[in-house]
Amino acid sequence: MSINEFNLVRHELIGLKVEIVKCTNKQNIGLKGTVIDETYNIIKIETKDGKKSIPKNITVFKFTLPNGKNVKVDGKLLVSRPEDRIKKKFPRW
């Protein structure tokens, strides 16, 4: 199944383009890059300035899908191990 705006939170995020649109840490807002790793609480992004670790629970991400669509996701929905997200029920997805 290909990744789309309806199944994004249940999919692999590594390799997707991402931008931070909202975060309690104001320094992270506007940060753009590619997702290179993901843990339970952190998404690691490769930016033009190097690698950054972004906490999921305080951030709203805008992912760019391979088909070119942009999807905003509250990081609180992503807080879990990536392999466990496929089992979760999500209100919007």
**Domains of the chain (ranges, CATH numbers):** 8-87 (2.30.30.210)
**pLDDT tens string 56-65:** 999 999 999 9
pTM over 0.95: no
- Sheet order of strands, 50-55 included: 50-55, 42-47, 32-38, 17-23, 59-64, 70-74
**pLDDT tens string 4-60:** 888 888 888 999 999 999 999 999 999 999 999 999 999 999 999 999 999 999 999
